[in-house]
Structure 1
Amino acid sequence: MSDDTSGSGYVTGGQEYSRDTSYITDRITADGSSGWKVEPGRYRLVVARACPWANRSTIVRRLLGLEPVLSMGICGPTHDERSWTFDLDPGGRDPVLGYERLQEAFLARDPEYPRGITVPAMVDIPTKAVVTNDFPQITLDLSTEWTAYHRDGAPDLYPEHLRDEMDEVMQRIYTEVNNGVYRCGFSGSQRAYDKAYSRLFTALDWLSDRLADRRYLMGDTITEADVRLFTTLARFDAVYHGHFKCNRSKLSEMPVLWAYARDLFQTPGFGDTTDFPQIKEHYYVVHADINPTKIIPMGPDTSNWLTPHGREEMGGSPFGDGTAPGPVAAGEEVPAEHGPGGIGHR
């Protein structure tokens, strides 16, 4: 069993990595027909900045302006075999739920809960029990079920007229890129790794071609598809290139994807939710089977994320007819030394 930032996965027969995708699939809906109704202040989104799957939800929540109605708990960058912990909070407890471990919310839902304790997780504050940890659906529901509480000028991240094509693009991004880097990193044989490596870079080449003549994956504005690709690209040079052996080329050596990633990073909601030291600490400390010394690399220099990207010349606008989100909510800021060019890494 190899723990990863979505919770758990396994290597079949010592060969190929497969992700455990057995999530709690309850949904929080506008009309409550799911059993869970959208209500301001009722739920708490629990995340870890290190995790790419959780990073999606922090970006979407911020882009849509849901901070006043959906609070957020932040776990530290590392976890043990039991679960993520709230070690960043005073006293090591989440101030709203009172928990030391996210595991407690899962056990409140099911005392015999048998699967991985994963972020992001939506927790019902009155019962302190997890509602769902189905990360792909969580962000789509924030876009489509929480519309009554979106900020003025919020983008439409899942436009109805694009959904069929978007779903296909996002599925390929998930299988070949988001999960593809893990397939490389946790391969149990040379043959499995070689196959995973080829699949990953075939997909990255496809994405480079797609983005060569359009600013964003679906055209002129940001959508959920961009959010999903970004969180893997943001971790590529810092972690996946070396730690997961995805080393045909760095992101910074892939001109189209590198310019695209910087364009997003410099857009409010993306770079200001990215914590490079926590990302590195998570992967290099938790994955002791890959990095038994738990030594965290000093590099790479991340100041290049702020260099000009030139993508604005392609036209389009990140938020379409809408507006950028305002400042990061108080208490949710990524420390300045953890951003581009920062020196903190522990």
Structure 2
Amino acid sequence: MRGEFVRQPNRFTGRVSAESASGLGGGPDERGRWPLEAGRYRLIWSRACPWAHRAVIVRGLVGLEDCLSLGTVDPIRDERGWRFGLDPGGRDPVLGIEYLAEAYAGTDPAYEGRVTVPAIIDTISGCVVTNDYPQITLDFSTEWGPLATRHAELLPPGVRLEMEQLMHDVFIDVNNGVYRCGFATTQEAYEEAYERLFARLDALEDRLATRRFLFGDRITEADVRLFTTLVRFDAVYHNHFKCNRNKLSEMPNLWRYARELYNTPGFGETVDFDQIKRHYYGTHAHLNPSGVVPVGPDLSAWTA
């Protein structure tokens, strides 16, 4: 469909794995697997980005904080992309770079796509291991298992196939669906994305009428992936991306569900509404030329 937003593919798809054939301190093996080593890698995220946000939530839920360090970029991107403007001197204290683009260029000098977060960087070589955001969180629950300090079991085997299908549908219609609404350049593309978004939200509203979480009484990977879109919905997507049939707070089951997750350890403390709003309203000049950031909505209801 002409005018439809198309998300670029992930350029770097290496994986950190205990099954890597490369020795400690070595680079990737022939399968692109890097050796699992505590303290070697650095996860770069933005508090504004929903894709990066879910990597940080899962990192905390499975207990990888002590073995995988965290670098945070500024929510406002300039012409060179994500920058380490929040750190003293404007450089990441571990990698020593000003822009995440420097790690991308050092890994692939010919790369011309957008620089994205999350990204896992090898601190020995400075190379990007992966920016494959869907695989990163899956690997935290599997490949990184020997270093994990908590048993979260976000990928319960009994529902894994059903969960993968639901996560696929939620990605198409909700996670990426809000972007397909916001960045559509034709009325037809916008309305198609809009209808799919709210049809999926209605289906999730019905599903949660009889379930505490998407797969019963325990939190799974699917809940993390849905949460990072829901928590941005009323603050950004409803207005900025024209997803305005109704607010999340007007869908009782989804609103109850999202607030319960927000108030669960590992979720709410990773949310920064100020940075979320400043990023979206301050970096999409074609959608918000003035750069004015809305004061509302009242976000205190998340903890009420």
TM norm structure 1? 0.83
Matched with 2:57 is 59
Q: Which residue of structure 2 lines up, in the alignment, with residue 328 of structure 1?
A: none
> Quick one: which of 202, 205, 219 aligns to 2:202?
205
SS where residue 294 of structure 1 aligns?
coil
Structure 1 regions of 5+ residues with no counterpart? 1-11, 308-346
Decide whether the 8 Å contact of 1:238 with 1:280 is kept in 2.
yes
Q: Matches of 1:232 and 1:303 in 2, distance apart?
A: 18
Indicate the residue corresponding to 1:259 in structure 2. 256
Please tell me the residue identity of whatever aligns with 2:87: D
What displacement does 1:29 show?
1.1
Look up the SS of the partner of 2:6 in the other structure: strand
What is the aligned counterpart of 2:12 among 17, 24, 42? 24
For 1:59 and 1:22, how far apart are their aligned partners in 2?
Answer: 20
Q: Distance in 2 between matches of 1:37 and 1:258?
A: 41
Take 1:147 and 1:100, find their aligned partners in 2: how far apart are those partners? 32
Residue 49 of structure 1 aligns with which residue? 47
Residues 1:169 and 2:166 aligned together: yes
Q: Aligned-pair distance for 1:138?
A: 0.4
Tell me which residue corresponds to 1:287: 284
**Residues 59 and 140 of structure 2 are in contact (CA less than 8 Å); yes or no, is this contact kept in structure 1?**
yes
Query: 1:81: Cα distance to partner?
Result: 3.3
Q: Answer yes or no: is the 8 Å Cα contact 1:120–1:135 preserved in 2.
A: yes
Instruction: Please report how far the alpha carbon of residue 28 of structure 1 lies from its aligned counterpart in structure 2 after TM superposition.
Output: 1.1
1:244 and 2:251 are equivalent in the alignment? no
Indicate if the aligned counterparts of 1:22 and 1:115 stay in contact, CA closer than 8 A: no
Aligned to 2:100: 102
The one-letter code of the counterpart of 2:92 is D
Q: Provide Cα deviations, 1:72-100, integer angstroms capped at 9, x if missing partner.
A: 00001011232200000001000000010
Query: 1:160 Cα shift?
Result: 2.2
Kept after mapping to 1: 8 A contact 2:209/2:253: yes
Structure 1: distance between partners of 2:68 and 2:199: 38
1:228 aligns to 2:225 (yes or no): yes
How far does residue 24 in structure 1 lie from its aligned partner after superposition?
1.2
Secondary structure in 2 aligned to 1:193?
Answer: helix
What is the CA-CA distance between 1:32 and the residue it aligns to? Answer: 1.1
Give aligned pairs, total.
294
Distance 1:187 1:208 in 2: 25
- Residue 26 of structure 2 corresponds to which residue in structure 1? none
Q: Distance in 2 between matches of 1:28 and 1:81?
A: 31
Question: Do the aligned partners of 2:41 and 2:69 also contact (CA within 8 Å) in 1?
Answer: yes
Structure 1 position 119, deviation (Å)? 0.1
Which amino acid in structure 2 is aligned with residue 41 of structure 1? G
* Secondary structure at the counterpart of residue 72 of structure 1: strand
Q: Which residue of 2 aligns with 1:178?
A: 175
The residue that corresponds to 1:310 in the other structure is none
2:267 aligns with 270
Superposition CA RMSD, Å: 1.1
Q: Could you say what secondary structure the match of 2:17 adopts?
A: coil
CA shift, 1:149, in A, is 1.4
Bigger proportion of residues as helix:
2
Any idea what the Cα deviations from partners look like across 1:114-142, whole Å, max 9, x if unmatched? 22110000000000111100000000001
Q: Where does 1:65-214 land on structure 2 (aligned, <5 Å)?
A: 65-152=63-150, 154-214=151-211
Check the 8 A contact 1:169/1:225 in 2, yes or no: yes
AA paired with 1:32?
S
CA distance in 1, matches of 2:196, 2:185: 16
- Deviation per CA, 1:43-83, whole angstroms, max 9, x where unpaired? 00000000000000110011111111000000010112322
Query: Please, which of 33, 58, 66 is the counterpart of residue 35 of structure 1?
Result: 33
Q: Which runs of 4+ in 1 moved over 4 A?
A: none
Deviates more, 1:272-281 or 1:79-88: 79-88
Displacement after TM superposition at 1:159 (Å): 1.7
